[in-house]
Amino acid sequence: MSRGCRLIIIAVTVSGGWVWGAVLTNPGFETGDLTGWTTFGDNGNIHVESVSPQEGTYALKLYQQFTGTTNYSGVYQNLPCIPGATYRSSGYLRNGYPSTDYLQTNNRAFLKLEWYDASGTMLGFVENYDPPSQGLDWNTPQDDTWRFNSFDATAPAGAVTVRVVLIHAYQGSGYEGGSSWFDNLNFGAVPEPGIWVGMVVGATMLATARAVGRRRT
């Protein structure tokens, strides 16, 4: 391989690495368990189940802890981040399943990003909760539909870790039930326009170099 080809491959690889960066482990729960995820608020109310997933075989099911007070449950993963970079978190959410398990009053679910510095201090967070288009609550249509959720957020100064959170919140004082479901999560950096141009140019040059190489053989 020529030096020029090697440089093209390196350029595309570096650009691609910055764009996607660290990726989620087990984003669709296809291991059949919570491999890669850490739970919080686990009171037997966090499950991976093979019940009508958005894709594949499994999905995550969450519901409130039934403690009679406000409580929060879910799972998360910690990933490295770059201050000033913009990241996108996305995935599919569903209001209950089957029809007897739709979210009741005071239950809601959403995606969240939390930012931490090198000492583990939280610097801030962004919640993707804006029904009916983003997040879920008791007003979300009860139609068994998987809804795509996506939002962008910029890492603040000093941030070295981003926590990708899937959360079910109960903010009441009773025992209203209902489940929230999550599947096919994704997380990655959103490149600046110049990065995209570099990737396209690099990929085009690589394809051209390969074509020339094939003609020479």
Do 180 and 145 touch, CB atoms closer than 8 A? no
On whether residue 67 sits in a domain, the answer given is yes
pLDDT at 80: 97
Residue type, 12: V
State residue 132's pLDDT score: 84
Residue 168 in domain? yes
pTM value is 0.81
Smallest Cα–Cα separation from 80: which of 29, 167, 17, 27? 17
Give the residue-averaged pLDDT of 180-188.
Answer: 98
| Beta bridge partner(s), residue 112 | 127, 165
CATH code, 116:
2.60.120.260
pLDDT at 215: 58
Q: Is residue 118 part of a domain?
A: yes
According to the model, what pLDDT value does residue 214 have? 57
Largest CA distance in the chain: 74
**Burial of residue 23 (number of CB atoms within 10 Å: 0-12, 13-18, 19+):** exposed
- Answer for the pair 40, 73: CB distance below 8 angstroms, yes or no: yes
The rounded distance, in Å, linking the Cα atoms of 48 and 57 is 10
Residue 208 falls inside a structural domain: no
pLDDT, mean of residues 83-100:
96
pLDDT of residue 22: 74
What does the block give as tokens for 83? Answer: 């201050």
What is the average pLDDT across 98-124? 97
Phi then psi dihedrals of residue 100, to 5 deg: -85, 0
Range of lowest pLDDT (96-105, 120-129, 175-184, 185-194): 185-194
- Number of structural domains (the chain) is 1
Is residue 202 in a domain? no
Whether 94 maps to a domain, the answer reads yes
| pLDDT at 195 exceeding the cut of 60 | no
Per-chain mean pLDDT for the chain:
86
Say yes or no to pLDDT of 129 above 90: yes
pLDDT one-digit tens code per residue, 6-64: 433 333 333 333 344 579 999 999 999 999 999 999 999 999 999 999 999 999 999 99
pLDDT band for 94, please (50, 70, 90 cuts): very high
pLDDT of 106 over the 90 cut: yes
Please return the burial class of 137, using the count of CB atoms within 10 Å of its CB with bins 0-12, 13-18 and 19+.
buried
- Domain containing 142 equals 24-188
Domain-embedded: residue 145: yes
Beta carbons of 149 and 132 less than 8 angstroms apart: no
CA nearest 187: which of 95, 114, 94?
114
161-178 confidence digits (pLDDT tens)? 999 999 999 999 999 999
The reported pLDDT for the residue numbered 212 is 54
- Percent pLDDT > 90 in the chain is 75
What's the length of the chain?
217
Q: Answer yes or no: is 17 within a domain.
A: no
**Least reliable range by pLDDT among 38-42, 109-113, 118-122, 210-214:** 210-214
